[in-house]
Amino acid sequence: MKKGPARDAPTPSTATRRANPARDARLPDLSQYGRLAEYNRKRHFGVTPEPPGTTRAREAGRPLEFVVQKHRATRLHYDFRLEHRGVMLSWAVPKGPSPDPSVKRLAMETEPHPMDYNQFEGVIPEGEYGGGTVMIWDKGIWAPVVENRLGDEDEVDRQLKKGELKFVLLGQKLAGSWVLVRTRGTRQWLLIKHRDEYASGEDLTVTKPLSIVSGRSMAEIGRAAGASPRQLQQAAGADPVLAPSAAPARRRAASSTRREPVRSRSRARGKVASSAP
Ligand code: MN
């Protein structure tokens, strides 16, 4: 099989780099090169709490990470990220992943993120790229699949090039067999669940809306991380109205009003579900 030239030059050894370039001015700032260049170019690391982009070497035998981050930026979406060659390949899924095999979810490919980003839950300040509240909605491990066995990194490259990536997830909300299929251009994909024992008609974005690491809602994350009033209202609007809260007594202590269940159609529309003062 003919192998084309790599689109991305290999990133220089991380051993020669510093997280803080100012610490050692003699070392060149290499953040403009490699697979995280776009990520770094879009962000001001003196302002945003997001981590600067550096690639990480993979220890042999360690499973590949995946993460899904719920992100109320200009619009609500779920960032679906798969570890590959030291970075997190990323797709923005506006409606979030669905475990229903008959549902195809649009997934727009976005710039690869650093692996450190998998730990990020908080608020990106107003005016910064992607400004808004971020929740770690699910995480776990993943593996590429080729026919009836697991594939390797080269297989991932092959399938990405072909525009059809088959994989298995082992997360706390998402599991089993999935596929990403490219539909148009270079960035538009569909995320689809395969039929297996993890398939269901459950809307996980409604039934399991809380952070997998902190148990918090979007509003609670926004409040704790200094969201602006506008961002806080948007974060609250991204929570399902009847989100089972980690601390329902505390949140509702001042009010005896019991809310009626509201169907999911109003869920994604921030202004409808918002109960901001
Ligand atoms: Mn995002």
Question: Between these two residues, 242 and 62, which has the higher pLDDT value?
Answer: 62
Ligand 1 centroid from CA 240, angstroms: 19
Q: What is the pLDDT of residue 18?
A: 40
Domain carrying residue 170:
29-207
Mean pLDDT of 254-258: 43
Mean pLDDT of 32-55: 87
Any domain includes 242: no
**Most trustworthy range by pLDDT among 26-30, 47-51, 258-262:** 47-51
CA distance linking residue 19 with residue 54, whole number of Å: 8
Any domain includes 109: yes
Mean of pLDDT over the chain: 83
Query: Is pLDDT above 70 for 26?
Result: no
Ligand 1 centroid from CA 182, angstroms: 19
SS (H, E, C) 172-224: CCCEEEEEEEEEECCCEEEEEECCCCCCCCCCHHHHCCCCCCCCCCHHHHHHH
Any domain includes 225: no
Query: Is pLDDT above 90 for 188?
Result: yes
Q: What is the pLDDT of residue 200?
A: 97
Any domain includes 268: no
Ligand 1 centroid from CA 120, angstroms: 12
Q: Which of 245, 210, 59 is nearest to 138 (CA)?
A: 210
Query: Is pLDDT above 80 for 263?
Result: no
Any domain includes 269: no
Q: Produce one character per residue of 136-175: b if its CB has 16 or more CB atoms within 10 Å, e if not.
A: bbbbbebbbbeeeeebeeebbbbbbeeeebbbbbebebbb
* CB within 8 Å of 192: residues ≥ 6 apart: 101, 103, 104, 105, 178, 179, 180, 181
Ligand 1 centroid from CA 53, angstroms: 15
Ligand 1 centroid from CA 238, angstroms: 14
Ligand 1 centroid from CA 78, angstroms: 7
Task: State the total domains in the chain.
Answer: 1
Ligand 1 centroid from CA 73, angstroms: 7
